A and B are shown apart, each in its own frame.
Chain A
Amino acid sequence: MFSNKLDRLIWRRHRKLMAVIGGITLLGTVMMTLILLHTLKQISGSDIQIVSGSIHKWQVYRGSYFTAYSWWLIFAFWLGGLEIMHLDLRDHFNEFLFSSGFSRLKVYWAKLRIALGTLLGMSVVIIAIQYLLYWLSKPAGTTFTLAWPGLITSWAMGLAISIGMFSLSWFAALIVGQTGSLIVTISGFTFSLVGLSGIGGNILSGSWLKVSKAALPWVGAGTWLVSAVVLFIWGAALYQHLSLEHNGEYLLFPRLRVPVYIVFVVYVTWLYSYDADGMTMAVAFILAALFGYGWLWRPRLGEKWHQWRESKQAKE
């Protein structure tokens, strides 16, 4: 299947979990499809179009009964990035890779290549199964008509978001060394993107930048792809300096602590106080600063308080 030994090694290591991700995604997509098909069966009448006419336009297709690019696929990419980067750290496969005789850069790009390649292949298969299911199970009296403009646009946009999501979880898993904290961090950040996309849309379509509504999704897709490329290249640089004595610590690169803190405080303050008054901004800033400090430095405040109380009692 793979011509070189490194690719074979990485595939051997991750094939089972990739299959699990594929299985979950397929199950989720099939379930969603069956639910939508069931809904269609409940609707009385005939000549119902499962796919609306907007599929003929060069825009992302959004319909009530059909999704051209399943959200489950975006989830699969997100999970795939997390899996392939974090599990090698957690299960100590990095130790083996780092002394395998392949340069770290080669290892990094091979992992990325195999993960993205597998996820892309998985997407093609799952999309094909999803469409086939619609085709075979469509209720009597309904029609299922597809058109390239809507499909290609939806796929392109879906892939851009998927690759962006992959890069986020991949990069987070590269710099965070604790499983639970990593999941909380990346989940929190991913959910915050909903708010960010709203604010970003307002800024882009505002009076200053004046980006048209039709162009907004493309700017979004471009932003995802550029961010992904930046994170992949930055990740490659960091991966070469990954020293495994930090395994199990929140940040695998202690020098990133202050930059991460600054970015976190600025991002959270901005997200919560965008378009708000000065007081809201001040409160958001203080809360973000305190939470960020507690999260990144993990001061043992409780322990210190007990020590202080005990020493005070001893003196008395």
Chain B
Amino acid sequence: MTLSVAGLSKEIGGRQIIQEITFEWAPGEILGLVGRNGVGKTTLFRSMMHHYVPEAGHVTVDGQDIQQVPSRQQQLFFIDTQYNFLSNYRLWELPDFFKAVYPRFDEQRFTALLAEFKLDRNSQYRRLSKGMRALVNLVLALTSNATYIILDEPFDGLDVIVRENIASMVIDEVADQQKGFLISSHDLNELDGLSDRVLLLKDSKLVRDYNLEDIRAKAKKIQLVLNDRVIPTVLKEHSQLIRVSGRVLVVVITDYTPEIDRALKDLNPVLFEELPLTLEDLFRANLAHETGYQLMK
């Protein structure tokens, strides 16, 4: 089972918003989609869902074009956070709509999750806070039981506790390899520990498709204090400086080899400690120049 996006392009008002976007996505994967604000993340989702009619390209599910076989769309879930019809309805009314579209919609779980998150089922969607709406969107996404779930900036406006809840729910959902998530964010920290792969949008194009496991297998983040104040050649050549605090250097080495390890230890550092590598570190070290990531911050 695979969802393929092939050569998807969309122009709005004479401006190319997304251009020849191509990627594949399988159940069990959590894909992160990152890019600066306005780079076309939401337009990509809207074009995938055919809210926008793309100028070129298509989306297929298991080889079937969703425009030719529209019922395949029921395997995709996306709620547009900006434009959706939910505003006028009370939460208890929403399953009526989603049941008609998602054959495996789980109404019992919907009610249970509303109760778990202390969301009043009699509340009107538009009367909810931004964070509560984001929660309702997520609850609908999870209970739709669609195979491919798209979440657009799902953590926006949520407090830390809820964020953690959502992240763990998403991870639980993919555990049985029956569902996949595509999560957009302009904040890499939100995707840290969540995404397996990161797609990077820049200048309306998909410029990178990173498998984080592969990158993490080769990279290391090290905190060290050297005897000399001079930065040694091995670090200059192979590392990206993340932080300097007094004599404490924090570096990321994207391709950490035994030779580099030996060279560093030969320097007899006063402190040599491996730190957990975050997604942000990887982007800073590896991709900052080519992606304009620093501008994202």
Chain A contact residues, CB within 8 Å of chain B? 5-6, 8-9, 12-13, 91-96, 98-103, 106, 241-245, 247
B85 touches which of A6, A95, A241, A247 (Cβ 8 Å): A95
Contact, CB under 8 Å: A244 / B52: yes
Contact, CB under 8 Å: A9 / B49: no
Q: Looking at chain B's contact residues, is the secondary structure mostly helix, strand, loop, or mixed?
A: helix
The CA of A122 and the CA of B294, in the complex, are separated in Å by 62
Contact, CB under 8 Å: B88 / A91: yes
Q: How far is the CB of A279 from chain B (nearest CB, A)?
A: 41
Residues of B within 8 A of A95 (CB): 49, 51, 80, 83-85
- 30 residue pairs from A and B, CB less than 8 Å apart: A5-B100, A12-B96, A12-B100, A91-B88, A92-B80, A92-B84, A93-B85, A95-B49, A95-B51, A95-B83, A96-B85, A98-B49, A99-B49, A99-B73, A99-B76, A99-B78, A100-B73, A100-B74, A100-B101, A101-B72, A101-B74, A102-B70, A106-B70, A241-B53, A243-B51, A243-B53, A244-B51, A244-B52, A244-B83, A245-B46
0/1 string, B177-221, CB within 8 A of A gives 1: 000000000000000000000000000000000000000000000
Interface positions, chain B 48-91, Cβ under 8 Å from A, are 49-53, 70-74, 76, 78, 80, 83-85, 87-88
Contact, CB under 8 Å: A96 / B96: no
Q: How far is the CB of A315 from chain B (nearest CB, A)?
A: 31
Contact, CB under 8 Å: A92 / B85: yes
Q: How far is the CB of A25 from chain B (nearest CB, A)?
A: 23
Q: Looking at chain A's contact residues, is the secondary structure mostly helix, strand, loop, or mixed?
A: helix
Looking at A98, A101, A102, A242, which has the most chain B CB atoms within 10 Å of its CB? A101
A101 touches which of B51, B73, B83 (Cβ 8 Å): B73
Q: How far is the CB of A91 from chain B (nearest CB, A)?
A: 5
Decide yes or no whether B12 CB sits under 8 A from chain A.
yes
Residues of A within 8 A of B50 (CB): 98-99
Residues of A within 8 A of B72 (CB): 101
Contact, CB under 8 Å: B46 / A244: yes
